[in-house]
Structure 1
Amino acid sequence: MSKIYTLVIVLLLTVVAAPNSAIAQNSIIPEISEPYLEKLIATAKANYPRVKSLDERLNIAKNNVSRQRLSYLDALTFSYVYQPNTTLNLNALQPGNTDGSAIGNNNRTSIFSGTQFGLFFNLGSYLQKPFAVKQSKRELNIANNDVQEYMLTLTTLVKKRYYTYLQRLASLKLQTQASTDAESVMKDVKYRFEKGEVTVESYNQARISVTQQTQAKITAETDLFTAKADLEELVGEKLEDIR
């Protein structure tokens, strides 16, 4: 009878406990919430630093296109020269000049007197502008493609880490139930051991099984916290704050 009971105990610890726990949840699919996942993705796109950097590059590229279009005006140069009608007679200021009447102004009339305006056109600079505009548009397309590519990458990363988080959560639930089952079996074995109905080997095996299940539960908890931290790294907020 003792051998039969020992065999039952081993089966309870190695076969019955974990499968019975698995019956409670054998899939994470029912736990997946698409609306919540979409909120996580939207939050990540709004908060993740690299997304902000790519958006800034895109804005810079857009501004560069506008600047290059306006730079067509750089080929035009406006200038003016002021030419007075009356000039100072510098000869009267020379040493040795004693003719006081020589000191004064020279009055002269010229077709270039007064203020003169000029508008200059740089053909070489003008011909370079279409190429500069095309180059800035290409840079804008590259920046836009980089943003779209990373949005797809970020979306995939959030989904993967969300699914991993759900997996770790389900694993912890299973392991918690398995640990509870092992403790229940341990209590029963201890009670029967104290009554002399089971051997020391069976009692020690039950204790070892409880220790193993407890260690596995701790590992599952650590895995869950790690998965949660990885997901929060992308979304930039605590999961509890995202509703």
Structure 2
Amino acid sequence: KLVLSFTLIIISSLTPLVLSAQQQQSILPEISYLYVEKLIAAARENYPRIKSLTSQVEVAKQDLNAAKISWLDPFSFQYVGRNNQSQTPPVVNVTNNDILTGYQFGVSFNPGTLLAKPSNIKKAKEQINVAKFTKEEYLLTLETEVKRRYFSYLQAQKALVPFNSSLLDAETNFNATKIAFQKAEVTIAQYNSASTTYYSAVQAKLQAEMAFLSSKALLEELTVKKLEEIK
């Protein structure tokens, strides 16, 4: 019974450590899909490429309106003013054949331009569809990229935890070894080993922090806002 009780105590003591280690091995518990939707909404609203594609849709709509109201383009209106009244009495100018005097009006018609109008209007409508589909396609790409960068951000954030623990352990071991070395209780090789382990842990943590900050910056590139501002 004593052995059984002692075993249960050990298992109970190790259980929180095991659970903590398992949590550090996965980012799934950290994912907030509600926050992901907020990130996507911020990217849709602020990312310059989306604004550019929206403007292209509006330009295509304006081109369609212009095509619809340009039915008079095939027609050309002209007028000429001729006046021989400056002579008294009025005479016909036989030099330049200006037989008629006063204002003369003329209308010319280009049937080819008129026949092309329905095709131009249809083309303008298709340009609107192309602009809309291009925007919709990019929205899907943007959504996927926001999710990918968010998951990378969580991964980099999660990776900091073991590096912090490793650095703390290495620092504690180095300080203890340093004191022991000063008391001549350990060899120079043991001291150098502890020192190397400590400074390696420092470099590893710095690299992990750089990866975390880089992933955060890449995500904020899409949202165009600091993550702290997106609640």
TM-score after normalising by structure 1 = 0.72
Q: Secondary structure at the match of 1:72?
A: coil
Q: How does 1:177-192 map to 2 (within 5 A)?
A: 177-192=165-180
Q: Counterpart of 2:130 in structure 1: which amino acid?
A: I
Q: Secondary structure at the match of 1:71?
A: coil
What is the number of residues matched between the two proteins? 206
Q: Counterpart of 2:63 in structure 1: which amino acid?
A: N
Q: How does 1:167-206 map to 2 (within 5 A)?
A: 167-206=155-194
Q: Tell me the distance in 2 between the aligned counterparts of 1:124 and 1:167.
A: 64
CA pair 202-21 structure 1, distance change in 2 beyond 3 A:
farther
Q: Paired residue for 1:213?
A: 201
Q: Tell me the distance in 2 between the aligned counterparts of 1:37 and 1:205.
A: 45
Q: CA deviation at 1:82?
A: 9.8
Larger radius of gyration: 1
RMSD (CA atoms): 3.2
Q: Paired residue for 2:113?
A: 125
Q: Tell me the distance in 2 between the aligned counterparts of 1:80 and 1:187.
A: 102
Q: Paired residue for 1:149?
A: 137
Q: Paired residue for 2:217?
A: 229
Q: CA deviation at 1:118?
A: 8.6
Gaps of 5+ in 2: 1-17, 92-101
Q: Paired residue for 1:101?
A: none
Task: Give the conservation status (yes or no) of the 8 Å contact 1:21–1:178.
Answer: no
Matched, 1:69 2:68: yes
Q: Tell me the distance in 2 between the aligned counterparts of 1:61 and 1:89.
A: 54
TM-score after normalising by structure 2 = 0.75
Q: Tell me the distance in 2 between the aligned counterparts of 1:69 and 1:139.
A: 14
Higher relative contact order (CA 8 A, sep 6+): 1
Q: Tell me the distance in 1 between the aligned counterparts of 2:21 and 2:166.
A: 9
